[in-house]
Structure 1
């Protein structure tokens, strides 16, 4: 081989070696060495987490690169970690500092987990970090500055956590790169830092659902890129800054539920791109500036619950893109503008609660997309335009006006989507049109308080979704159509104060969902049908002031749900049932033929059956012999029966003694239940207990069998409510619990949704709340396992006291009020996400020893598939009298203020000892209205429960006024539960210095 060839081969080998070395250097130097920092940082971050679902099982410390790990994305060029996306993985623990090593991280999304602690400023200050989203966790503590001078953070989302305290005024001093900021749904207070004006690139600013106070900061007008401002649900005061009119890019402005005053700035007319403006639930005054008619892009204009006044201007009809126009609960006057008919895309129009007069313009029939029209509680006159029933509207509200004429006829194809119709409290006359039965989607019909005549159309029974029918206080005659018995979803049927004749149709016993049945003050005759005792959910029955005859059906004694029955002023005869529903003599008075202990009239014994013997019979001797033999047989049988009963009693006493001994020795109870389809169903379910029992449950089926036995045993039933029946049961460790068997099995969500909602409730812990211990699930049966509270509920202590049981003293009543307020305050302000009770009433206020409050059944409404006004109002008719007015209006959003209303009713119930709704002989008394009238008359203390004897007037009077404030018809006028607690605690020091024995 020549030297030239050798030299060539030598150089080729050297070049190949250099190339290989360069490749190894590139691989090992550019990838392997820095990647170890990423692996190290992520593994350090993982060690601080709890991963119950194993979502991070692919994260292994022996991997050279994390780029294939779940939720990790790497840059294609540098192969460094650029994004971490771990959304909704149920991760717990804290956000560790290991992430600081990821110095090329650009996106960090840890939202919708269970993370605790705070956000480390060094993590937020990573040099390349653009997006930081830790929303919907359980992060807490004060919000420290998270911006650095060399930071590049563009999106910061800390919403739906539990951050507290005021924000330092310097919080935003280095936020020049910030584009989107979301701090909503926390517990931040104090003023909004004025340094927010330094965020010159900001487009989205959301601080809603906090406790910010003070004025809207000056300088927002400098943020010319702002597109969305949301300061809703805070405590901001002062006026709306006129400088907001300089924000030409602004598309959404939400200032609802604050304490803003003054008028709407005319300068807002410069925000030509504004799509949504919500200034509702404030204290704004003055007239609508005419300059606002230039907001031609506006799709939502909500100014409800303010003090705006003046004539409703016709130029509103020029806002051609309006989809929602809500001016309810203001002081607008004048006529409803005909120009509103030009709003071709309008879907919601709410002008209720104003001072409008004149007729309803027929031009509203041109709003072809209208879904909800609410004109209630104005001074409108004239007739209802039939054109409105031809629309695809779902809600029509005309109540509380002075409308006249006949109810409009319904033509073929009309009202195809109508669900809610409320024309009560007007002067409508004439017959009810049978064609109303063609509105096949009707859910609620309220035509009470008019002058309607003729008969009830039988076609109404053909409405498959009808749930609420109120035709009371009219002049309707004829019979009650038996076809109403086919309305299987009907929960409220109110026909009182009419001229109805005939019998009560037995078919009403098929309305299994019926909760309230009021047929009082008619001319009905015949007996009370036995079929009504089949209505297992019936709570209120009033058939007073009719011509009914016959006996009271004995089945009423077994109706556990029945709370109130009024059968007074009829011609009924026979014994009065002894059940709790028949507890007031005034509710059975006016029936001369009744007897019973309730009215102090003894019922005559039944006549004995005579034995007739013919003395002339030739077989008399034989008959006498048979009689003697029969008497001997009777004596023998009686003796045997006595012996058998004695044996049974001794056996039962021995079993009871052995059972008590086992309990005292701590031995778990074992119940054997025969195999049945129900038990087979139970064996397929899933039992989850949050608390570890004192004694291990080796086989939860044993306990489930015991629970099944309890559910079948009426003796273990301790209560019923809007969601189901409650039973007392004993766990294998001897711990007594309350088991709620849900009655919404056909309505509850899927198993995953059910478990998610129940698990959130299982995390709620407070001394004044009943703790949820666990749950049991099958598709056909759902059980909730709760703490057992042994001392009954507030309803029983106030309205069903046992003989000789002392009345609650003022000290006890105040203690119950404060405990209830503290429990609700924790649900509203101490839980993330916020929990609304929805079903607050005295039967859900349980009392443990020394009258310590424990609130039950909170948040169960979330188990329903749809949480809207109708579902709530129809489901919770058991809370009649406690329900806030907004439940009746589907266009209103249900908030925690509905709980405040119910609490106000509870306060008045505690003070007066009266039920929230009482049915008198000639009227129905609403407690809050009654007390408010007494206060206006200057004698509020005349309503105080006389059974208290002694009470401090300077404490009771403030509590009465607080109850009336809480029951304000305007939700924004009601205080928060935090404010309620503060008010009650101002009264408590006075109480501590007194003793009322």
Structure 2
């Protein structure tokens, strides 16, 4: 601690206890200087705070009472401040407003805050404060507003907060987005003057009945917790309510009709619960309602005609329920509606033309119903940004769009319908369109040449839509296309050379068409390409060797064409399996049993007798003698064929021999790995390298020389147990029956300076959580870097799911749920407890280890911090082995990489746990992406067919929500994915007593 601050802390009690009357002005200066000393101020926002000033009233970010010169307002919002709140603030006895929100404050709330007796408003929201809410805050008799939202506060909400003096004055309380648990205090109903109550985004479960009797409430937000049970009809007593948010809980039963007696209600969100029955008619009385969501419940019946009477609605979401019947014509009365979603129901009939009367609509989502008839032309006259009519039974043609429609539209999904006819020419004017999907229709039209006009298009999906004709050469003029899928059509002609202009493309799928010609070498310019599917076409020639330079390529299928010759020597091509190559004329691969054909010029064979004249005749007969020349030797055709065959046989023998040598070398690698490790720790002179070992225990006082020898001895006994993107992992005994895991880092691209390496590893070592495998220490030399952690004999989740031995029983659903929840908690801890957050970047089953009780331990977290430059392209190439787990934004320059990358990988992990299948599987004819398969089966109502049957009995009421959560986490749009903290809360909501009984069994 700095000496001036230490002296200040020592003198402060003397100042407070002195018998001489202290100047109140000096008390304010002293308290504020103490606050300044305890904070880090990177923007120098507190530079005007000078301890030599007699009064603080000219300082920035505060206000004084003009009569007493005492500080009454202290506002330090959004100044990037960090550190702890110190003791001594209680000397600001005239302070009535204290606001330090949107900073990086950490530590616990000091209980001395309760001594600020004049305080009316306390706002410490959106920091990193932890610990429990002090009991003494309830003693603030003048407190009207308390905002502690957006922190990491834990434990229960203290009863004294509502039973103390503060309760009589408290008007607004926000504790949202923390880690609070338990029940809302039974004393809460005593705060009868409370107007605003927000406890959303916590882990709260119990709810006192008196909450529904707080008649003065204007805002009640209980969303994203674990509350359950029915909402009573007495909700009508809270007749002043304007905002009611109960979404993201486990509320059940019917929606209370008493809600219709809250005439001021303008926001009603009951989504993500288990409400059943029909919508109560009393809702039509809520004439002020502008936001109404019932998404993700079990509501049934028809969507009532009276919904058109709620005339102020702007947001209407009834998606993912069991509503049936037709869409009411009365929707046209909702002239202010800008968001409409009826997706995931059982609606039938036509889409009413009256929807076009809702002229302010921006998003329309009607996917996954049974709607039929044609698309109303009026929809294509609105200024929509998103239109999703996919997975219905719509027929007819695609309407032409108006000028306003073409200028505003960003996303159009008409897939999985029965549409026919041509693609309208007006579609060429959709300059701002980013997502276009008309797959799985029956259009029977040519591939429109206007595709090159889509200057902002990112995803183009025309699969199985009856398209024919050539691929336009100007398709990629914009360079923004990332996904191109034309599979299952009659696209003909050659793949244009201009395909190399698609610089952003990461998925190119042209399978099951009639393409001819050769594979263009221009594809090698697609440096971001990850998936290339060209199977079932009529492509000829050899595969361009330049494709071997595509280091990001993770999946290739060129089967069932007419290709010949050698595979490219680089990239993924040497590891392709048989299914990706079979069905060609003559590809050269040891996996194929067919002939190997090379596109080489035929040898020139000369008949020596052709130029021998006999009696002036040019005629050559079989009896003509062969004249042997001393200067030229000519081979017969049969000799050349024999020599060629022998040549290829020799090549084959050499190839087999090399493969055997390679296999023997791989076997010997395990035996000699430690020898190479130890040799790498020596200097060029042959002596031991100058290194340093750090063990994060009190035993770090051992001598460096002893630890160098100890490290080499330790590695000499180690055996390799796996390899990852950062290096090999060994297990090694350390005595007394204990075994540790040692990761030998790949030195290339790792931080090369010990100080930087030490700083980053120590940061990772601070991560202490039940579901993390902590670092125990490290060993460093310029040539050798090791990370030391505990060894878990239970193996990885990958081995239990995808490489299970006969001795390993299938994972039960309770264990799978435990693994899911534990992994989520570990990731949430990494994201919330560090600033900047620790991002894993490589969530997959092989990085989840299990202990003897199937508790998950995340390993390899934060190792991207050891890269000298945390660049998304470096990360993308480093983790290219994580096929199927990488978030799409890792390949997009324009998107900011953040914690949502981990959420995507976690979503894939969920689907693997539920289905027991790998993220990407290679079949004989295609590549199966798990996310797409699960989503398709869920939309078809066959979701349970995806579930891994090896785990035996399972509760559908848990498995299906977990599966849906996995799909939400893998949204292509990062902002649509929940945070890991929200994921934990959702999983805790899903957990039911049924699961508890299964675990007990």
Instruction: Tell me whether the two structures share a fold, i.e. TM-score over 0.5.
Output: yes
Q: How many angstroms does 1:934 deviate by?
A: 10
Given that 2:266 and 2:288 are in contact with CA atoms closer than 8 Å, whether structure 1 keeps it comes out as: yes
Q: Which position in structure 1 is the counterpart of 2:336?
A: 345
Q: Aligned partners of 2:909 and 2:687: how far apart in 1?
A: 40
Q: How many angstroms does 1:543 deviate by?
A: 1.1
Which secondary structure does the structure 2 equivalent of 1:728 belong to? coil
Q: Which position in structure 2 is the counterpart of 1:827?
A: 827
Q: Which position in structure 2 is the counterpart of 1:967?
A: 963
Q: Which position in structure 2 is the counterpart of 1:696?
A: none
2:65 pairs with one of 58, 75, 78: 75
Q: Which position in structure 2 is the counterpart of 1:196?
A: 188
Q: Aligned partners of 1:214 and 1:442: how far apart in 2?
A: 47
Structure number with the bigger relative contact order (C-alpha 8 A, sep ≥ 6) is: 2
Q: Aligned partners of 2:882 and 2:459: how far apart in 1?
A: 14
Q: Say whether 1:916 aligns with 2:906.
A: no
Q: How many angstroms does 1:438 deviate by?
A: 0.9
Q: Which position in structure 1 is the counterpart of 2:356?
A: 365
1:246 pairs with one of 237, 249, 254: 237
Residues 151-205 of structure 1 deviation map (CA, whole Å, 9 limit, x = unaligned): 1011111111121112233430131111111111111111111322222222211
Q: Which position in structure 1 is the counterpart of 2:671?
A: none
Moved more, 389-398 or 38-47: 38-47
Change (3 A) 1:812 1:287: closer
Moved more, 215-224 or 316-325: 215-224
Q: Which position in structure 2 is the counterpart of 1:949?
A: none
Q: Which position in structure 2 is the counterpart of 1:587?
A: 580
Q: Say whether 1:211 aligns with 2:208.
A: no
Which secondary structure does the structure 2 equivalent of 1:185 belong to? coil
Moved more, 169-178 or 295-304: 169-178
Given that 1:764 and 1:831 are in contact with CA atoms closer than 8 Å, whether structure 2 keeps it comes out as: no
Q: Which position in structure 2 is the counterpart of 1:665?
A: 689
Q: How many angstroms does 1:365 deviate by?
A: 0.9
Residues 770-809 of structure 1 deviation map (CA, whole Å, 9 limit, x = unaligned): 99x9xxxxxxxxxxx9999999xx999889x9xxx99899
Q: Aligned partners of 2:324 and 2:388: how far apart in 1?
A: 18
Residues 590-627 of structure 1 deviation map (CA, whole Å, 9 limit, x = unaligned): 1132222232567578799899999999xx99999xxx
Q: Which position in structure 1 is the counterpart of 2:86?
A: 96
1:432 pairs with one of 415, 423, 439: 423
Change (3 A) 1:941 1:114: same
2:844 pairs with one of 842, 845, 864: 842
Q: Which position in structure 1 is the counterpart of 2:748?
A: 728
Given that 2:799 and 2:846 are in contact with CA atoms closer than 8 Å, whether structure 1 keeps it comes out as: no
Given that 1:240 and 1:264 are in contact with CA atoms closer than 8 Å, whether structure 2 keeps it comes out as: yes
Q: How many angstroms does 1:847 deviate by?
A: 8.7
Which secondary structure does the structure 2 equivalent of 1:262 belong to? strand
1:222 pairs with one of 211, 214, 235: 214
Change (3 A) 1:473 1:613: closer
Q: Which position in structure 1 is the counterpart of 2:975?
A: none
Q: How many angstroms does 1:876 deviate by?
A: 12
Q: Aligned partners of 2:445 and 2:907: how far apart in 1?
A: 38
Q: Aligned partners of 1:89 and 1:760: how far apart in 2?
A: 24
Change (3 A) 1:128 1:738: closer
TM-score by length of structure 2 reads 0.70
Q: Aligned partners of 1:99 and 1:369: how far apart in 2?
A: 52
Q: How many angstroms does 1:429 deviate by?
A: 0.8
Q: Which position in structure 1 is the counterpart of 2:380?
A: 389
Given that 1:828 and 1:836 are in contact with CA atoms closer than 8 Å, whether structure 2 keeps it comes out as: no
Given that 1:504 and 1:526 are in contact with CA atoms closer than 8 Å, whether structure 2 keeps it comes out as: yes
Structure 2: gaps of 5 or more residues: 1-19, 613-628, 634-678, 693-723, 728-745, 778-784, 889-898, 970-977
Change (3 A) 1:797 1:145: closer
Q: Aligned partners of 1:89 and 1:208: how far apart in 2?
A: 26
Q: How many angstroms does 1:503 deviate by?
A: 1.1
Q: How many angstroms does 1:136 deviate by?
A: 1.7
Q: Say whether 1:258 aligns with 2:227.
A: no
Change (3 A) 1:322 1:457: same
2:288 pairs with one of 293, 297, 307: 297
2:456 pairs with one of 460, 465, 469: 465
Q: Aligned partners of 2:748 and 2:865: how far apart in 1?
A: 21
Q: Aligned partners of 2:376 and 2:148: how far apart in 1?
A: 50
Q: Say whether 1:321 aligns with 2:312.
A: yes
Which secondary structure does the structure 2 equivalent of 1:321 belong to? coil
Q: Aligned partners of 1:220 and 1:817: how far apart in 2?
A: 34
Which secondary structure does the structure 1 equivalent of 2:380 belong to? helix
Q: Which position in structure 1 is the counterpart of 2:98?
A: 108
Given that 1:264 and 1:289 are in contact with CA atoms closer than 8 Å, whether structure 2 keeps it comes out as: yes
Q: Which position in structure 2 is the counterpart of 1:691?
A: none
Q: Aligned partners of 2:274 and 2:824: how far apart in 1?
A: 26
Q: Aligned partners of 1:36 and 1:509: how far apart in 2?
A: 72
**1:445-594 matches, cutoff 5 A:** 445-577=436-568, 579-581=571-573, 582-594=575-587
Number of aligned positions between the proteins? 821
Q: Which position in structure 2 is the counterpart of 1:182?
A: 174
Change (3 A) 1:65 1:360: same
**1:928-943 matches, cutoff 5 A:** 929=934, 940-941=948-949
Given that 1:569 and 1:588 are in contact with CA atoms closer than 8 Å, whether structure 2 keeps it comes out as: yes
Given that 2:416 and 2:439 are in contact with CA atoms closer than 8 Å, whether structure 1 keeps it comes out as: yes
Which secondary structure does the structure 2 equivalent of 1:311 belong to? coil
Given that 1:323 and 1:348 are in contact with CA atoms closer than 8 Å, whether structure 2 keeps it comes out as: yes
Q: Aligned partners of 2:359 and 2:787: how far apart in 1?
A: 53
Change (3 A) 1:180 1:563: same
Q: Which position in structure 1 is the counterpart of 2:395?
A: 404
Given that 1:104 and 1:128 are in contact with CA atoms closer than 8 Å, whether structure 2 keeps it comes out as: yes
Q: How many angstroms does 1:902 deviate by?
A: 2.1
Q: How many angstroms does 1:857 deviate by?
A: 8.8
Change (3 A) 1:130 1:964: closer
Given that 2:323 and 2:345 are in contact with CA atoms closer than 8 Å, whether structure 1 keeps it comes out as: yes
Given that 2:838 and 2:862 are in contact with CA atoms closer than 8 Å, whether structure 1 keeps it comes out as: no
Q: How many angstroms does 1:381 deviate by?
A: 0.5
Residues 690-742 of structure 1 deviation map (CA, whole Å, 9 limit, x = unaligned): xxxxxxxxxxxxxxxxxxxxxxxxxx9979xxxxxx993344446997999xx
Q: Aligned partners of 1:238 and 1:123: how far apart in 2?
A: 37
Which secondary structure does the structure 1 equivalent of 2:908 belong to? helix
Q: How many angstroms does 1:340 deviate by?
A: 0.8
**1:897-912 matches, cutoff 5 A:** 901-907=907-913, 911-912=916-917
Q: Aligned partners of 2:443 and 2:85: how far apart in 1?
A: 67
Given that 2:816 and 2:913 are in contact with CA atoms closer than 8 Å, whether structure 1 keeps it comes out as: no
**1:647-662 matches, cutoff 5 A:** none
Q: Say whether 1:144 aligns with 2:126.
A: no
Q: Which position in structure 2 is the counterpart of 1:778?
A: none
Q: Aligned partners of 1:583 and 1:384: how far apart in 2?
A: 44
Q: Aligned partners of 1:469 and 1:878: how far apart in 2?
A: 24
Change (3 A) 1:883 1:919: farther
Q: Aligned partners of 2:750 and 2:790: how far apart in 1?
A: 13
1:853 pairs with one of 855, 859, 862: 859
Change (3 A) 1:245 1:392: same
Given that 1:75 and 1:81 are in contact with CA atoms closer than 8 Å, whether structure 2 keeps it comes out as: yes
Given that 1:232 and 1:258 are in contact with CA atoms closer than 8 Å, whether structure 2 keeps it comes out as: yes
Structure 1: gaps of 5 or more residues: 1-29, 625-654, 669-715, 720-725, 741-758, 774-784, 866-871, 885-892, 943-952, 992-997
Change (3 A) 1:33 1:604: closer
Which secondary structure does the structure 1 equivalent of 2:154 belong to? strand
Moved more, 438-447 or 831-840: 831-840
